[in-house]
């Protein structure tokens, strides 16, 4: 496996270069590779080609175990340590993993499990599972190498020569964090991470190296970085995934951090990167320009060219466990394409029917975000005897905004069916573990009487 070959090479050629800086503790490439080899020696030969469910509370222990399993020819199955015991047990049963490796040590299960005789299989990951049991999927090394190459094209050559530090502050079980970790080790760079989210601690860690930095954050972390970081003069690449930044937030970042280049990604765990917007130079309503290696297909298009989005590229995953590998990946989004610029029109599952018309909550949200004083917004629905459903807007921002003023500003942008029947300013909107605003949780809270 190329990743292991490279780490072994770096351990020899740059032994004292820091590979990991986690919780203010530095681990060199020499020390990391030594730990990986020792851990691999302790693994039984029988675990070769077996799936091993890995779950540690400490990120450094996870990294060593992940690499040791690859070294042994086993397959790391990356479990979230914050999952309940009930959820983990259900996944052990469903996917029949042969071994479990956690803080209590390595244990063999009673399951035969599948054997994975695939040379390039990096790990088995899991979807977020917000509405049910997470689904297991395969991630092969070549697909992430293809993603690394796309990422590298976004960095300047001088900064690459200075070996930028790679920073991800989410849990290792999140696809983005694990991606950044492997990305850093693949190129012999330093990965900065932490077990407990702490912007101040992260800022201190970056200062120890004083090199260009690549920050991979979700929007909620971006807000924290804006208000808590003082690394104003350090060359920084900010890679944002999970949701678009508001124009206001983007402007605030560029004002406070003039040496920062901001890339907003659109993608999924399964499809990896699909499009990118550099410094909001793409049209405001878009999610940026397609990556050169990405092919898209828009099915069931309406008169405006909006349809269901399908993607294929060298960066995509290798299918769900127990299911055939799809030639095209359905993202679950309505989208349209114009001159290689991708426009989203909402999730297929979120469409509302108001007055007999298909309405996209996502498009309403993006339009409302252009209003000064609306920082974040989510559209929910309420059933209505005459119209079928009504759209309600919940937003974070200026509570002095009036419904009449917002309506006046947007009367040429939204039809009467699209404009929310009610707008409520709330102290804080609910978010998922990865930092996205949760429409499902907001809907449930509203139905339970919150904010009314």
Phi-psi sector, 451: left (phi>0), alpha (psi -120 to 50), beta: left
Q: Among 184-193, 253-262, 424-433, which range has the highest average pLDDT? A: 184-193
Q: DSSP assignment of 333-348, as one string?
A: EEEEEETTEEEEEEEG
DSSP strands (E only) in 64-195: 75-78, 99-102, 105-108, 121-126, 136-140, 165-168, 191-193
Whether residue 127 is predicted with pLDDT greater than 80 in this model: the reply is: yes
pLDDT at 305: 92
Q: Which of 148, 102, 103, 104 is CA-nearest to residue 122?
A: 148
Question: How far apart (Å, rounded) are the C-alpha atoms in residues 86 and 407?
Answer: 47
Whether residue 412 is predicted with pLDDT greater than 90 in this model: the reply is: no
Whether residue 372 is predicted with pLDDT greater than 80 in this model: the reply is: yes
Average of pLDDT values for 342-348?
A: 90
pLDDT in tens, 75-97: 999 999 999 999 999 999 999 99
Q: Any idea which fold 351-447 has? A: GMP Synthetase; Chain A, domain 3 (3.30.300)
* Between residues 145 and 114, the one the model is more confident about: 145
Within 10 A of 415 (CB to CB), how many other CB atoms are there? 11
Ordered alpha helix ranges (H), 379-437 = 403-410
Which residues, 6 or more positions from 104, have their beta carbon under 8 angstroms from its beta carbon?
Answer: none
Q: Among 8-12, 416-420, 432-436, which range has the highest average pLDDT? A: 8-12
Whether residue 129 is predicted with pLDDT greater than 70 in this model: the reply is: no
Whether residue 131 is predicted with pLDDT greater than 70 in this model: the reply is: no
Q: Which two tokens stand for residue 268?
A: 């999924």
> For residues 47, 53, 57 and 58, what is the CA-based torsion angle, rounded to 10 degrees?
40
pLDDT at 130: 62
Q: Distances from the Cα of 377 to the Cαs of 208, 237, 395, 396, in angstroms?
A: 38, 26, 4, 6
Whether residue 387 is predicted with pLDDT greater than 90 in this model: the reply is: no
Which residues, 6 or more positions from 246, have their beta carbon under 8 angstroms from its beta carbon?
Answer: 369, 375, 376
Task: Determine which of 59-68, 305-314, 432-441 has the lowest per-residue pLDDT on average.
Answer: 432-441
Within 10 A of 225 (CB to CB), how many other CB atoms are there? 22
pLDDT band at residue 353 using 50, 70 and 90 as cut-offs: confident
Place of tokens 């979700």: 218
pLDDT band at residue 429 using 50, 70 and 90 as cut-offs: very high
**All structural domains of the chain with their residue ranges:** 351-447
Question: How far apart (Å, rounded) are the C-alpha atoms in residues 398 and 299?
Answer: 40
pLDDT in tens, 291-342: 999 999 999 998 889 999 999 999 999 999 989 989 999 999 999 999 999 9
pLDDT in tens, 238-248: 999 988 888 88
CB of 123 closer than 8 Å to CB of 77: yes
Question: How far apart (Å, rounded) are the C-alpha atoms in residues 445 and 451?
Answer: 8
Q: Which of 362, 368, 369 is CA-nearest to residue 336?
A: 362
pLDDT at 154: 96
pLDDT-above-90 percentage for the chain: 68
């Amino acid at each position: 496996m190329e990743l292991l070959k490279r780490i072994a090479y770096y351990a020899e050629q740059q032994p004292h270069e820091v590979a990991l800086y986690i919780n203010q503790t530095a681990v060199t490439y020499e020390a990391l590779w030594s730990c990986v080899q020792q851990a691999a020696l302790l693994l039984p030969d029988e675990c070769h080609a077996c799936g091993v469910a890995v779950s540690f509370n400490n990120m450094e222990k996870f990294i060593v175990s992940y690499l040791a399993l690859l070294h042994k020819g086993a397959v790391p199955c990356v479990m979230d340590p914050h999952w309940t015991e009930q959820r983990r047990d259900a996944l052990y049963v469903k996917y029949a993993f042969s071994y479990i490796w956690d803080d209590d040590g390595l244990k063999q299960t009673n399951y035969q499990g599948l054997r994975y005789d695939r040379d390039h299989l990096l790990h088995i990951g899991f979807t977020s599972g917000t509405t049910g049991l997470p689904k297991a999927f395969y991630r092969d090394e070549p697909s992430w190498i293809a993603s690394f190459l796309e990422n590298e094209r976004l960095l300047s050559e001088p900064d690459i020569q200075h070996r930028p530090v790679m920073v991800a502050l989410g849990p290792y079980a999140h696809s983005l964090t694990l991606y950044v970790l492997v990305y850093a080790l693949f190129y012999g760079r330093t990965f900065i991470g932490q077990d407990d989210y702490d912007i101040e601690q992260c800022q201190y860690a970056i200062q120890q190296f004083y090199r260009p930095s690549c920050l991979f954050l979700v929007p909620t972390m971006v807000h924290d970085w804006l208000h808590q970081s003082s690394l104003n003069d350090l060359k920084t690449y900010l890679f944002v995934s999970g949701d678009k930044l508001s124009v206001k937030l983007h402007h605030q970042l560029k004002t406070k951090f003039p040496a920062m280049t901001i890339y907003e990604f659109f993608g999924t765990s399964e499809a990896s990167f699909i499009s990118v917007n550099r410094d909001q130079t793409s049209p405001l309503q878009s999610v940026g320009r397609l990556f050169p290696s990405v092919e898209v297909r828009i099915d069931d298009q309406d008169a405006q060219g909006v349809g269901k989005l399908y993607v294929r590229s060298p960066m995509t995953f290798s299918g769900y466990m127990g299911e055939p590998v799809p030639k095209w990946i359905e993202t679950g989004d309505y989208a349209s394409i114009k001159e290689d610029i991708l426009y989203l029109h909402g999730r297929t599952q979120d469409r509302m029917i108001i007055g007999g018309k298909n309405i996209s909550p996502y498009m309403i949200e993006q339009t409302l975000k252009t209003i000064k004083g609306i920082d974040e917004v989510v559209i929910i629905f309420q059933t209505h005897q005459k119209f079928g459903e009504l759209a309600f807007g919940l937003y974070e921002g200026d509570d002095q905004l009036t419904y009449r003023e917002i309506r006046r500003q947007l009367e040429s942008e939204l039809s009467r069916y699209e404009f929310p029947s009610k707008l409520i300013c709330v102290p804080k909107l609910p978010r998922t573990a990865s930092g996205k605003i949760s429409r499902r949780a907001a809907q449930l809270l509203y139905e339970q009487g919150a904010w009314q």
